[in-house]
Amino acid sequence: MTIDLEKTDYIRAFTVERAPDPARAALVVVDMQYATGARDGALGRRLAAQGSTVAEYRFARIERLVVPNALRLLAAWRRARLRVLYVTVGAQLPDCSDAPAHMRKLFLELQNFAGSREHEIIDALKPERGEAVVNKTSNGAFATSGIDSVLRAWGCDQLYLLGVSTNMCVDSTAREAADRGYAVTLIEDACATTQPALHEATMVNFRRLFGRVRSTDEVLEEIAGHA
C-alpha cells in the first residue's frame, strides 16, 4: 500500500524539515544484537526449532539489506570522523529483575542480559574504539539509557537511525528523540521488522510529523562532502 501524504494528509502542511548538517549528526545503530538481530541468535534458533517461518522476512531483510547498508553507512561515518552511537537492549542482571515487567519474559527466554552472547552486538557490526554504546531496558532508548547525555555532550542534535525492530525500538527511540528537539531521519532500507506492513506503516507514520525517511544512498549523498 502506498500513501501519498502530500495529497491525502493535512498534517504535512505543518511539517518543517531542518537542513542536514553532518557535523552535528550521529549515526545511531539500534539493537543489532544476537538475541533478535541475527538468524543464528536466540530468537532465530527458537523459531527454527519450532519449525516456524514467522520471522523469515525479518532475518532475510537483515541479511539482505540491514547489515550491508549498515556497513556502508558505518564506513562513511568513520571516514568522515562523525559520531557513531550503538544502542543495545537487555537486562543488566541474569534474572532480568532490573527490566520492566513487560520486557522481562522476553529477556529471560532469549537470555538477553549483560555478559551473555545474545546481548552482544553482532560481529559484522561491532563498534570500533571511540564509538559509544548505551544499554536500555525499554523499547525507547531515551526512557532507560544515557543516550541523551551522550548526544548532547557531543553536540549532536541530528540523528540517523537504523536497526531493529522498525516498529518497536527504532520507532520508539526516534519519536522520543523528535519530542526532545532532535532532527531525526529513519534510514528505511537499513531497518527491519517481522512484516512488511509493520515496516511500511512505521515509515509512513513517522514522516507525518516526527521526522524524515531516507534511503541509504540518500543519506550517503548528504554526508559525502564530509568524507
Q: Give the model confidence (pLDDT) of 20-67 as tens digits.
A: 999 999 999 999 999 999 999 999 999 999 999 999 999 999 999 999
Mean pLDDT of 122-150: 98
Task: Identify each DSSP E strand in 90-172 by its residue range.
Answer: 132-136, 158-164
14 band by pLDDT with thresholds 50, 70 and 90: confident
Mapping DSSP to helix (H, G, I), strand (E, B) and coil, where does residue 181 land? coil
Q: Does residue 75 register a pLDDT over 90?
A: yes
pLDDT for 32 equals: 98
Domain range for 221: 21-226
b/e string for 136-173 if b means 16 or more Cβ within 10 A?
A: bbbbbbbebbebeebbeeeebbbbbbbbbbbbbbbbbb
Say which CATH number the domain at 195 has: 3.40.50.850
State the pLDDT at residue 7: 62
pLDDT per position as a tens digit, 98-125: 999 999 999 999 999 999 999 999 999 9
Number of domains in the chain: 1
Instruction: Check whether 126 has a pLDDT greater than 80.
Output: yes
In this predicted structure, the answer to whether residue 83 has a pLDDT above a threshold of 80 is yes
Residue 92 lies in a domain: yes
In this structure, is residue 162 part of a structural domain? yes
**pLDDT (tens digit per residue) in 167-205:** 999 999 999 999 999 999 999 999 999 999 999 999 999
Residue 9 in any domain: the answer is no
Q: Residues 190, 69: contact at Cβ < 8 Å?
A: yes
Q: Which pLDDT does position 69 carry in this prediction?
A: 98
Residue 3 lies in a domain: no
**Paired residues of 160 in beta bridges:** 27, 185
**Cα separation of 17 and 63, whole Å?**
31
The answer to the question of residue 75 being in a domain is: yes
12 falls within a domain:
no
Give the orientation angle of helix 216-223 with respect to helix 67-79, to 10 degrees.
0
Q: What integer pLDDT is reported at residue 153 of this predicted model?
A: 98
Give domain status of residue 70, yes or no. Answer: yes
Taking residues 209-216, what's their average pLDDT?
Answer: 96
**Which single residue is written with the C-alpha cell 525517511?**
213
